[in-house]
Amino acid sequence: MADFVANAKTTLPGEDVIVRAIQFFTNERWRAQSQSSRVATFVGRPKIPVGLIFLTVFAFFMFVVPGILMYILVIRRVIRFQNIVVTTTPIAVGTDVIVTYPKLATKLVSRFVSALPPLVCAPALA
């Protein structure tokens, strides 16, 4: 599966972003795997979409073979461990935050990025 990338610029220092990331993702059932002052890696299993569960149960009721195929091809691929990586880079007025995440963690990462205070640029004087 391809990973997605989210970028944000914030007024917080990089260490504070890492601390907030650890608090946020561990509350959402992701385990901190490694941490430094600029990078934090989280490992976990995203929630399985309800539609996939219903489709698998339906396939089991129709016939055993489609249910087993759904389980092997879809559900088992989804429930394996996946990573979220939060990287910070200092810039002149704050921090650039880059989050690499799997597709099923899109809503979770967007909530984290929106929880960071945005970088507000002053208007240019003429």
Provide the 10 A C-beta neighbour count for residue 114: 9
Q: Which sequence spans correspond to the domains of the chain?
A: 1-45+81-126, 48-80
What are the pLDDT tens digits along the chain (126 aa)? 568 999 999 999 999 999 999 999 999 889 999 999 999 999 987 777 788 778 778 877 877 777 777 777 777 767 778 899 999 999 988 899 999 998 888 999 999 999 999 887 655 555
Q: How far apart are CA 86 and CA 108, in angstroms?
A: 13
User: What is the model's pTM?
Assistant: 0.77
Q: Which CATH superfamily is domain 1-45+81-126 in?
A: START domain (3.30.530.20)
- Are the C-beta atoms of 86 and 24 separated by less than 8 Å? no
Taking the C-alpha atoms of residue 126 and residue 59, their distance in angstroms, rounded to an integer, is: 66
